[in-house]
Amino acid sequence: MAFRPFTQKHVFKKLVAPKERDKASIHSLECYGQNLYIGTKNASVQHLIFPRSSDGDQHPGQWSVREGRTRKLGSTSSVAQLRAVPLFNHLLVLCDRSIAALNMFSLEPIPALKKIQHVSLFEVWNPLLPDQTPHVQMVTSSSRRKVIQIHVVGVDSWEVMKEILVLQDPVALAVDGSSMCYATTDKYLLCDIHTGSSEELFPHSHSRQQAIVFSVGQGEFLLNGPEYLGMFVMKTGTCQRPPLQWPREVLAAAMCFPYIVTLQPQFLSIYSMVDLQQKQTVNLQGAKGLLSASDGVLVFTERETFSLRLVPFQEQIQALVQEGKVEEASLLLDGVQAHCLPDSCKQELQQNISCLAGFAKLYKQDFSEAKDLFIKGHLDPREIIQLYPDMQSIIGIDFHSQLHEKNKIKDLRSRWEEDRSVFLSYLYFLEEFLLTVRDTQQVLASVKEVDSALLRLYVELGDAESLQQFVASPNKCELDLCVPVLEKHKRFYALGSLFQSHGKLTDAIQIGVHIFTGRRPEDQVESGDVLALLEEYPLAMLLYLEFLIHNLKSEEERHHNYLALAYADRILQVGEEMHLKTREKLQQHLWESKFYDISIVLYCGTLDLASKFLFGSFRETLHQRRMTMLQKALSEAELMRHNVMRMQASKTKFRLDRGQTCDVCQKEFAEPQFCSLHGNMMHLDCAGS
């Protein structure tokens, strides 16, 4: 957007009959809060009321005004000046060379305050003296005598406190504290209200209407000086700013810090007090006067009133930066900070200036300055990361961008699509910027996004060395976002290192082995090279050896030896549960394998484990053999006993009658075979028991 410190809005149009247009034309204005007062050429005062906004702020000119009361002053002269005294709800009106006091809301005269006669000019101010009864002071210039009077104004009285003699009648005056500056028909003078002493400043050749004296605050006055210069004069009589070079026909001036608005017959000119340059021109036919308001300037013609409302400083600064006027934006910030900005707001705006300036440099491919400005402005790195199409998925949903340059972002991406080399230069810029801020306070809220973006950059740029160094060192990469990228580009070794740096050792080892086991048979890497590479990763080597022996059916003795030794090493390093599982694998390997060298296995570092296995196996075999021999001996003894019994029985004759029973089981003898022991007759089986 183009830089405009003020926006214009129509406030009010006075509707009068055609015959009354000249008499009812607007001649003066006063504004306080929601109240606007219009003084007309036919001695009328009209009260207008602005609606109050929902947040409690008054914004003159933002809505249609409501008409209040109107007071006719009983004179045919113009209302020359209006001044509100909100401390007492007074409205002071200068008409027909006399000052009258009205109530600010009813516009009824205040009986206790009788008119002050013979006044050509007046001004009021609140001295804000501590530990005193609230009061207002007023300075008046007499229309009959060459004298300036200082009045003390109360709620129901006013009285002259001091008179200051002057050599010439003032035609314009302003007061700031104890200092008064006034213009005569040919010169400007300073006057100390307390002492009454005066000091000539410089002569002028302006008409009565063009002699301008305006207080800009802090003991400083703006004067329409010689050679069409706007002169800033301090109450000490010195100038601390260079003069404004303004047009010949300046009729009035008003201030809304840090801008000066001047009135010419056909237009308004707006100047900055910071760099004293013209910032805006507003075309306005027939303007008659200006009035400073709380958030802008009011302008009136014969029948209409307009508002020039100050654009918020942050929007002004953004507009300047977007136009490439970074230095001007910084000057504006420095100029307004002491007047109306707290330190926190100043710091925020200064950072915004730096960041916006950085984007302006970025679009011009001035990468070095852009990086420095982003760092100075504490820019959230996510604001830059989101510009890159392939990295938008990195940004979390809790991030809300503060950028207001969506159109430029689209233009930037279209340039990238047209020219790959331009896109690569922006990738290298992002890499350098992220590496610079990675270990600073600037990335506390976005460390995962920064590291994830760096990983993608290394992959995109094909920088394998930087990628490996990065994933092998401590990092905060978001695994869910980065693992698919490494898998897609077949960066398995980097993926294994990433798992390892995040403490996922099992996943890391599986990825380190998958690099070699996932290949087609014709693409297999020489096993000796792989084993040498995996020497520092024992578990990965163990898994790879299992792959060689169980999947590729390797019969090489060294593979079988290495696997036995790997099992033994693993048993010493793992907990009880894994210890048992690995021990079973070792035993299975020693039982089934025919290719390992027993001598190498028995004099390895894990000797005690192997001996326990061998002794255990021998004890089990010996036990089974002895049990078999014992059972055989028992069977032979039983047979011998039966033979003895048979031989003894064969030498004696017995008579077996029908119905005779066994002396042991008491059952009849069904068969002829029986035996007799100690005179008892029994079945053969019963004799055995």
pLDDT of residue 59: 47
Residue 54 is assigned to a structural domain of this protein: no
Which secondary-structure segment (H or E) carries 29?
Answer: strand 26-32
Give yes or no: residues 658 and 641 share one domain: no
Q: For residue 592, is it within any domain?
A: yes
- To which H or E segment does residue 331 belong? helix 326-340
Q: Give yes or no: residues 598 and 527 share one domain.
A: yes
Domain assignment present for 532: yes
Nearest-5° Cα angle at 151, 146 to 152 = 170
DSSP per residue over 139-178, as a string?
EEEESSSSEEEEEEE-SS-EEEEEEEE-SS--SEEEEETT
Peptide bond into 258 cis (omega under 30): yes
Per-residue confidence (pLDDT) for residue 339, from 0 to 100: 62
Q: Is residue 683 part of a domain?
A: yes
User: What does pLDDT average to in each consecutive run of 10 residues of the chain (689 residues)?
Assistant: 84 76 84 93 92 53 76 90 94 96 96 94 79 80 94 92 93 93 95 92 88 91 91 93 90 92 93 92 92 92 92 84 79 74 71 84 90 91 88 84 62 77 91 92 87 94 92 92 88 84 77 68 68 77 85 88 87 72 85 82 62 65 83 89 76 74 88 76 81
CB distance 194 to 178 below 8 Å:
yes
The token pair that represents 675 in the structure block: 């035996």
The whole-angstrom separation of Cα 557 and Cα 224 is 106
What lies within 8 Å, CB to CB, of 130 at 6+ separation is: none
The reported pLDDT for the residue numbered 543 is: 83
Phi and psi at 380, nearest 5°, equal -65, 120
Task: Tell me what pLDDT residue 350 has.
Answer: 81
Residue 540 and residue 559 in one domain: yes
Distances (CA, A) of 36 to 300, 305, 429, 594, 688: 12, 10, 56, 108, 135
Q: Tell me, what amino acid is at 467?
A: L
Is residue 250 within 8 A of residue 236, CB to CB? The reply is no
Residues 301, 13: Cα–Cα separation, whole Å:
9
What gap in Å lies between CA 188 and CA 239, rounded to an integer? 14
Task: Look at residues 558, 581, 610 and tell me which one is the last residue of a structural domain.
Answer: 610
Q: Which two tokens stand for residue 329?
A: 């934006």
In a domain, 643, yes or no: yes
- What's the chain's Rg over C-alpha atoms? 53
Tell me, yes or no, whether 296 lies in a domain: no
* pLDDT score of 175: 94
What phi, psi does 495 have (nearest 5°)?
-65, -45
Rounded Cα gap, residues 122 and 119, in angstroms: 7
Element spanning 534, H or E: none
pLDDT score of 411: 65
Whole-number pLDDT of residue 14:
80
Joined together, the tokens standing for residue 184 give 């005569």
C-alpha–C-alpha distance, residues 427 and 244, integer Å: 47
Strands 198-203 and 187-192, how do they pair?
Answer: antiparallel
Q: How far apart are CA 167 and CA 186, in angstroms?
A: 12
One domain for residues 665 and 617: no
Taking the model in full, what pTM does it have?
0.64
The domain boundary, picked from 583, 610, 637, lies at 610
Q: Count the domains in the chain.
A: 3
Matching residue, tokens 């580009």:
489
Claim to verify: residue 528 and residue 583 sit in the same structural domain: yes
- Residues 620 and 560 both lie in one domain: no
- Per DSSP, the three-state class of 437 is helix
- Cα separation of 187 and 233, whole Å? 14
Q: Is residue 670 a part of any domain in this protein? A: yes
> Are 552 and 617 within one domain?
no
Same domain (yes/no): 603, 527: yes
CB distance 204 to 188 below 8 Å: yes
Supply 655's token pair: 């008579």
Q: How far apart (Å, rounded) are the C-alpha atoms in residues 209 and 490?
A: 83
Question: Pairing between strand 267-272 and 259-263?
Answer: antiparallel
Tokens of 598: 């027993």
Q: What is the pLDDT of residue 420?
A: 85
516, 463, 456: which is closest to 488 by C-alpha?
A: 456
One DSSP character per residue, 273-307 reads TTT--EEEEEE-TT--EEEEETTEEEEE-SSEEEE
Q: What are 656's two structure tokens? A: 């077996």
**pLDDT number for residue 55:** 46
For 668, the domain range is 654-688
Tokens (6 digits) for 33: 């809060």
Check whether residue 535 and residue 578 sit in a common domain: yes
Alpha carbon dihedral 347, 351, 353, 355, in 10-degree steps, equals -170
- 534, 547: one domain: yes
Sheet containing strand 35-40, strands side by side: 26-32, 35-40, 44-49, 66-72
Q: Is residue 532 domain-shared with residue 559, that is, in the same domain? A: yes
Do 529 and 554 sit in the same domain of this protein? yes
Terminus-to-terminus CA distance in the chain, angstroms? 117
In the block, tokens 């995040």 appear at: 502
The answer to the question of residue 679 being in a domain is: yes
Which ranges in 380-488 belong to alpha helices (H)? 381-385, 406-418, 420-437, 447-461, 464-472, 479-488
